[in-house]
């Protein structure tokens, strides 16, 4: 009896491992073959530069930070709305529906992508991810962030962002 239970446990473990690794293996194979679908047709992306231009031109861009509170307090895109990814279902969409673009993000958009899909499923059609993924791309582009790391408030960080946008447009 004991041996059969152990065999069952080993088989279940093997099956679980294979099942969990399969989607990643399929994706890797598709990537190497160049056969991956264009996922941006489903979740569009927008470059950080385009976003900054839109903000400079007075368009309404709403960032939704889907990370945890401690991460948000460290640094976030100025003006971002904070809503951890598990709370996105309860986020009030009235403000977001009127936006020109809603950009959910996290560090590299693993959680950001989940947030984007949830918002799309809730009926928003103006959702996009940052091209290059996440706030790491934003910081790599030397764009200002608010929070304890930079010591900037949202207002000061936004002023710096607009100043950069003005400088870039000249």
Partner 1 sequence: MTFAARRALLASGLVLLVGTPLVEFAAAVGPLSNYLRGDYPPGQSAYVMMRPAALIAIVLVWFQWIVGTLGRRLERWLGVQTLVPLHRTLGLSAVALVLLHPILFAWSRSLRSGTLEVVRTFFPPRGENIWEFNLFFGAIGLYLVIVAVLAATLGRRLLPRAWRYIHALNYAAIASVFFHALSVGSDTRLPMTHALYWLLIATGAAATVFRVATLVRSRRGRAASERGDRSAAALASANASPARPA
Kindly state the smallest distance separating residue 157's Cβ from partner 1, in Å: 17
Nearest approach in angstroms of CB 47 to partner 1 is 15
CB of 151 to partner 1, least distance (A): 15
Q: Which of 43, 31, 24, 36 is nearest to 114 (CA)?
A: 43
Specify the residue, 93 or 110, whose C-beta has the smaller distance to partner 1: 110
Question: How many CB atoms neighbour CB 159 within 10 A?
Answer: 14
Cβ burial of 129 (10 Å; 0-12, 13-18, 19+) is buried
168 CB-near residues (< 8 Å, 6+ apart):
49, 52
Site residues (CB under 8 A) for partner 1? 2, 5-6, 9-10, 12-13, 16-17, 20-24, 26-28, 30-31, 36-37, 39, 42-43, 67-68, 70-71, 74-75, 84-86, 107-111, 113-114, 117, 121, 129, 133, 149
Nearer to partner 1, 96 or 109 (CB): 109
Give min distance, CB of 161 to partner 1, in A.
Answer: 20
């Amino acid at each position: 009896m004991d041996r059969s239970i152990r065999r069952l446990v080993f088989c279940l473990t093997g099956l679980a491992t294979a099942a969990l690794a399969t989607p990643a293996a399929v994706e890797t194979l598709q990537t190497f073959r160049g056969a991956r679908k264009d996922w941006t047709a489903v979740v569009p992306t927008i470059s950080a530069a385009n976003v900054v231009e839109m903000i400079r031109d007075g368009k309404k861009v709403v960032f939704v930070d889907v990370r945890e509170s401690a991460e948000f307090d460290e640094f976030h895109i100025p003006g971002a709305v904070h809503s951890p990814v598990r709370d996105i279902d309860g986020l009030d969409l009235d403000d977001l529906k009127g936006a020109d673009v809603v950009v959910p993000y996290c560090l590299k958009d693993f959680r950001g992508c989940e947030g984007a899909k949830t918002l799309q499923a809730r009926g928003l059609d103006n959702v996009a991810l940052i091209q290059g993924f996440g706030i790491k791309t934003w910081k790599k582009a030397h764009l200002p962030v608010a929070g304890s790391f930079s010591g900037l408030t949202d207002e000061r960080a936004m002023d710096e962002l607009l100043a950069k946008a003005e400088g870039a447009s000249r």
